Structure 1
């Protein structure tokens, strides 16, 4: 009886092994979910959506600056990277003024003076409160009525524009105001803003002014 029971167990194991051997082995292709390439229509829709979102936040920044609503402006600053300000087209990460979002919100209501850069021509340091810098330098003209562009430059003078080098592959907008005939078009101004996506929303990481320099 014991011999018969052992024989049955051995036979069962042999049959099981044969079934396992005959079972197809899943390949890597079967176990990995393939990412289907996007078609041109999907890519076009995503591009249009992104352009719309950037235009919307660009306009929100301009409206906040025009209304001197710096609390709203602060809400548009990147939560982790903060924001940098460049007085002219040449971006210098070592010299340009940078704030974390928390520091901006802390000092914005105060009369604390900050050095934002050096004045073109004289080289004198430009010192101002956050409110004065935003109101008198950043929004030196009504950029809500300016010419808008995304990912390309409209204005430019004799100051080196290295924005794309310092912020490679970042999304930027430009708001350009043409110069007047009375001043031979040399009084043009432009306001560039660099954005980065964070948790599905675009935030400001840099504000760059540009104008005619000596």
Structure 2
């Protein structure tokens, strides 16, 4: 009799298990995908607003440089992080000239000479006042008539461009003037501005010039 009871119990339990409806398992992958998609949409919406602000700041800075209105230029320097100047596309935070906003404004109209870097080819140090550097190097061409790009590089030379590595995730603009046929189009020049938002305004944290190097 005992032998008969055990199989009956087992059969009853098996039947009960089959009749019990399975609980729906939440699709974690789908949920994560939805969250990621919403995040991307949010970033895209924010980026759209930033594009207008960055382009406006870019154009005002170019116009200030063209007019030699360096007080207006200084107003775009990041209040806390200051500004770094790179002579060429390769950014070297340890060697490139850096100013706090206060120091830039303090020495802007003085005759203090700084070493901004080494000139390509000769390797000679490039020495100039802030005023001369902005006039003769940073704005050596009329970049108000240049080709504009946001977060994309137009110019591509033979020197290393590490801007995205040094300033990861930050908005940057490129203002590119193509080369001329008489020099094999190798006399192109570009100026890049790296921006960071602070208290609702776009500020400069870096000015990076670039051109064909030997």
| Runs of at least 5 residues in structure 2 that lack an aligned partner in the other structure | 1-34
> Does residue 62 in structure 1 map to residue 88 in structure 2?
no
* Alignment correspondent of 1:143: 143
* Alignment correspondent of 1:75: 75
* Alignment correspondent of 2:153: 153
* Alignment correspondent of 1:102: 102
* Alignment correspondent of 2:50: 50
Query: How is 1:159-178 mapped onto 2 (pairs within 5 angstroms)?
Result: 159-178=159-178
| Runs of at least 5 residues in structure 1 that lack an aligned partner in the other structure | 1-34
Q: Secondary structure at the match of 1:78?
A: coil
CA distance, structure 1, for counterparts of residue 193 and residue 42 of structure 2: 27
* Alignment correspondent of 1:129: 129
Q: Secondary structure at the match of 2:144?
A: helix
User: How big is each residue's C-alpha offset from its partner over 1:117-137, in whole Å with a ceiling of 9 and x where there is no partner?
Assistant: 000011110000001000000
**Displacement after TM superposition at 1:42 (Å):** 5.9
Aligned CA distance change for structure 1 residues 117 and 52 (closer, same or farther; 3 Å): same
Q: Secondary structure at the match of 1:127?
A: strand
CA distance, structure 2, for counterparts of residue 209 and residue 192 of structure 1: 6
CA distance, structure 2, for counterparts of residue 49 and residue 39 of structure 1: 16
Aligned CA distance change for structure 1 residues 205 and 182 (closer, same or farther; 3 Å): same
* Alignment correspondent of 1:31: none
* Alignment correspondent of 1:7: none
CA distance, structure 2, for counterparts of residue 101 and residue 202 of structure 1: 14
CA distance, structure 2, for counterparts of residue 174 and residue 40 of structure 1: 24
Q: Secondary structure at the match of 1:126?
A: strand
**Displacement after TM superposition at 1:156 (Å):** 1.4
Does structure 2 retain, via aligned residues, the 8 Å contact 1:156–1:210?
Answer: no
Aligned CA distance change for structure 1 residues 182 and 53 (closer, same or farther; 3 Å): same
* Alignment correspondent of 1:209: 209
Report the TM-score, using the length of structure 2 for normalisation: 0.80
CA distance, structure 2, for counterparts of residue 136 and residue 104 of structure 1: 17
Please identify runs of 4+ aligned residues in structure 1 that moved more than 3 A: 37-45
Q: What is the Cα-based RMSD across aligned positions, in Å?
A: 1.6
